Amino acid sequence: MCCWRKIPLFFVVLVLSTMFVAGCNETKKDSLSRVKEAGEISFAMSGGYPPFNFYNDKNELVGFDVDVAREVAKRLGAELKPVTTEWSGIIEGLRAGVYDGILGSMAVTEDRLKVVNFSTPYYYSGAQIMVKTGSSFAAPKELAGKTLGVVTGTTFADDAAKLGAGDVRLYKDDTQTLMELNSGVVDGVITDRIVGVNAMNSGKFDIEMLGFPLRSEDIAVAFKKGDDTLLNEVNTALVAMHADGTLAQLSQKWLKADITTR
């Protein structure tokens, strides 16, 4: 039977120190090694945010975000495993480890930075008010006291509050908000400017933009706090995709414009 008294103290300290360092190194590389060992990376998105991530007529998940996620996965040597989930609980799912990251047009905000980390932005946009075509509203300030629709969990609810909306109604996704606007249930909708323009040009909605964007936004990939190695690897991929024109090409494919530069 082994007796600790017979082992020199310095040897015990050395062994424990080595185990501690090894444990620390293992923790630091855990997020990236997890993806490498699985051979796949899971990115979450709502699935109801055209043209960024949505289901087409064949029930296939497609869009700008989906193509960006697939290219990032490829550059990491992994397969993409997309996950669609309710936007209102998407950050909680990330923090619980349900998926590796959120690549679903999430804007970087101070509040979100308190609970998750963000990659370098992969595109830039802004908050836009949409109203019915031919409405009596001439400026955003005229929506004070009116009913506005926004997607639950987005930063647009704050914009609605700042405008002094009388009632802010929350919806699952922008397909619902724009349908409610089109049918007259709400007086206006605040959404991503590009989403609004895409919906306006689709011919499915009788809507138009009201004024200029309320503010600009950096859109990036969100990661769980502590998943630094995976974040760094994705950053490397995104920087390369900016440099070689891949992001610009995907933007032109889905939006007929380059939204990947300021």
What pLDDT, in 10s, does the model give residues 44-77?
Answer: 999 999 999 999 999 999 999 999 999 999 999 9
pLDDT at 9 (0 to 100): 46
pLDDT at 30 (0 to 100): 84
Report the distance separating Cα 71 and Cα 247, nearest Å.
9
Domains and CATH numbers, the chain: 30-124+218-255 (3.40.190.10), 126-216 (3.40.190.10)
Full pLDDT tens readout for the chain, 262 residues: 444 344 454 444 444 445 544 444 444 458 999 999 999 999 999 999 999 999 999 999 999 999 999 999 999 999 999 999 999 999 999 999 999 999 999 999 999 999 999 999 999 999 999 999 999 999 999 999 999 999 999 999 999 999 999 999 999 999 999 999 999 999 999 999 989 988 988 889 999 999 989 999 999 999 999 999 999 999 999 999 999 999 999 999 998 888 998 8
pLDDT at 200 (0 to 100): 87
Type of residue at 30: D
Report the distance separating Cα 149 and Cα 3, nearest Å.
71
Report the distance separating Cα 172 and Cα 7, nearest Å.
64
Torsions phi, psi for 109 (to 5 deg): -135, 160
Q: Going along 17-145, which residue ranges are E strands?
A: 40-45, 48-49, 53-55, 61-62, 79-84, 101-107, 116-118, 123-132
pLDDT at 29 (0 to 100): 56
